[in-house]
């Protein structure tokens, strides 16, 4: 009886899979900023500005759900992190649309960062790495001590982002005409900070057993809200 030897995934297939994963992860946020930029009012009148954010948020929610479906269809799975991020996008996006309030729009990231940070720190304090449940497949080889350290560091980083958002939302808000600037901070400040922080964790992760093949997963797919 003939036996079939599994054929390793080619570099080209891995490249396509990696590109699709990036589109699934970052497609919704790209759509959010694209829609906001297209419909952003020139005079930044309060009602028009909020209406634009609501439209961009609705597009964000729809695209996130599409990304979930595409992940299942093309990649054959839905990562736990994608489930969680999509759920948060839908829940908090729905609240944004329901309230239609600039103050809530700016407070929302603080609430999300606080929720994630506190959950990770409590889990690490109790010896349970919540990140392992969400990212185990992407962090192959990482030992339990590494997971605890990673959860602890991400917990504090999320609290830092919450504090940073509070500072920025007081400096740039609807009252002083800076809401658009604050929205831009998500792309030009928070996302780069997240990538830099993720990159700085590589030495610790490698020390605790992270597989060499998993390094690209860590750097190209960091946690993000």
Domain C-terminal end among 78, 100, 122? 100
Specify if 191 maps to a domain: yes
Query: SS3 sequence, the chain?
Result: CCCCCCCCCCHHHHHHHHHHHHHHHHHHHHHHHHHHHHHCCCCCCHHHHHHHHHHHHHHHHHHHHHHHHHHHHHHCCCCHHHHHHHHHHHHHHHHHHHHCCHHHHHHHHHHHHHHHHHHHHHHHHCCCCHHHHHHHHHCCCCCHHHHHHHHHHHHHHHHHHHHHHHHHHHHCCCCCCCHHHHHHHHHHHHHHHHHHHHHHCHHHHHHCCCCHHHHHHHHHCCCCC
Specify if 7 maps to a domain: no
Domain C-terminal end among 66, 82, 100? 100
Both 169 and 209 in one domain: the answer is: yes
pLDDT at 87 over 90: yes
Per-residue model confidence (pLDDT) at position 221 = 61
Both 29 and 94 in one domain: the answer is: yes
Specify if 162 maps to a domain: yes
Tens-place pLDDT, residues 146-178: 999 999 999 999 999 999 999 999 999 989 989
Per-residue model confidence (pLDDT) at position 72 = 92
Parent domain of 57: 12-100
Per-residue model confidence (pLDDT) at position 42 = 77
Both 114 and 203 in one domain: the answer is: yes
pTM of the model: 0.86
Specify if 152 maps to a domain: yes
Reported as a pLDDT band with limits 50, 70 and 90, residue 41 is confident
CA distances 183 to 32, 109, 217, Å, are 10, 11, 27
Both 113 and 172 in one domain: the answer is: yes
Tens-place pLDDT, residues 6-28: 434 444 555 556 678 888 889 99
Both 95 and 108 in one domain: the answer is: no
> What is the number of structural domains in the chain?
2
Both 119 and 217 in one domain: the answer is: yes
Specify if 154 maps to a domain: yes
Per-residue model confidence (pLDDT) at position 225 = 59
Both 92 and 199 in one domain: the answer is: no
Specify if 3 maps to a domain: no
Specify if 6 maps to a domain: no
Both 148 and 83 in one domain: the answer is: no
Reported as a pLDDT band with limits 50, 70 and 90, residue 5 is very low
Both 206 and 224 in one domain: the answer is: yes
Both 85 and 123 in one domain: the answer is: no
Average pLDDT, the chain: 87
Both 219 and 120 in one domain: the answer is: yes
pLDDT at 132 over 50: yes
Domain C-terminal end among 52, 72, 100? 100
Averaged over 33-39, what is the pLDDT? 94
Per-residue model confidence (pLDDT) at position 149 = 96
């Amino acid at each position: 009886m003939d036996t079939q030897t599994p054929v390793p995934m080619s570099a080209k297939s891995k490249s396509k899979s990696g590109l699709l994963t990036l589109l699934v992860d970052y497609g919704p946020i790209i759509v959010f900023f694209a829609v906001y930029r297209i419909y952003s009012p020139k005079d930044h009148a309060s009602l028009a500005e909020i209406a634009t954010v609501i439209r961009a948020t609705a597009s964000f929610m729809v695209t996130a759900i599409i990304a979930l479906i595409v992940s299942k269809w093309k990649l054959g799975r839905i990562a736990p992190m994608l489930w969680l991020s999509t759920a948060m996008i839908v829940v908090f996006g729905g609240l944004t649309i329901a309230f239609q309030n600039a103050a809530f729009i700016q407070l929302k990231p603080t609430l999300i960062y606080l929720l994630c940070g506190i959950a990770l720190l409590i889990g690490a304090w109790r010896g349970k790495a919540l990140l392992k449940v969400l990212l185990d497949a992407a962090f192959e080889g990482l030992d339990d001590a590494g997971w605890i350290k990673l959860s602890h560091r991400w917990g504090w980083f999320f609290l830092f982002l919450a504090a940073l958002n509070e500072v920025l939302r007081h400096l740039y808000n609807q009252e002083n005409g800076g809401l658009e600037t604050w929205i831009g901070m998500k792309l030009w400040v928070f996302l780069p900070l997240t990538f830099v922080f993720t990159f700085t964790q590589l030495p610790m992760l490698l020390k605790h057993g992270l597989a060499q093949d998993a390094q690209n997963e860590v750097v190209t797919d960091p946690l993000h809200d």
